[in-house]
Amino acid sequence: MNGFLPNLVILSAGSAEGGSELNAFDNALLKAGIANLNLIRVSSILPPRAEITYEVPFIEKGSLVPIVLAKITSCEVGEVISAVVAVGVGEDFGVIMEHSMKGSKEEAEREAKRKVEEAFKAREMALKEVHIVSAEHKVEKLGCAIAAAILWWR
């Protein structure tokens, strides 16, 4: 059934503070431009021929939206937290890997890319390219960083 095969992958990331973990998460989603959607976590396969974009198109508020999501929250003042999604593109399809951690986004990006490379090796596939989106946040009181790959239709 090809009607449910997404042909667009939207990469977005954000970070924010909030009065609770849930509010910090919601505020990070707002910064990423994806807060008014009903997010449905899915596993991490890039559909064949899917276009990758870093611009969030209009999606009707309340839509059920498949997403691969990296998320981290912290209340440790001064701590740096990061969330990353890396998309590996192969000849036919690809793999999406998420990673979140205490530390810089550069460290998190390296680990997410390593995960993509390992997934391609396990599938005995050639890796053509890697797309990465990340957010880094220095905690003031209670912070959250998120990175996301939305699977959608154009």
Let me know: does 80 contact 72? Beta carbons within 8 Å: no
- List the catalytic residue out of 43, 60, 124, 140: 43
Residue from 20, 36, 38, 63 carrying the catalytic annotation: 38
74 is catalytic: no
Kindly name the residue from 12, 15, 27, 44 that is annotated as catalytic. 44
Helices of type H across 20-128: 21-32, 105-122
The DSSP 8-state label assigned to residue 47 in this structure reads P
Is 60 one of the annotated active-site residues of the chain?
A: no
- What is the β-pairing status of strands 80-89 and 45-46? unpaired
Which member of 12, 15, 27, 98 is catalytic? 98
What letter would DSSP give residue 48?
A: T
Catalytic residues: 38, 43-44, 98
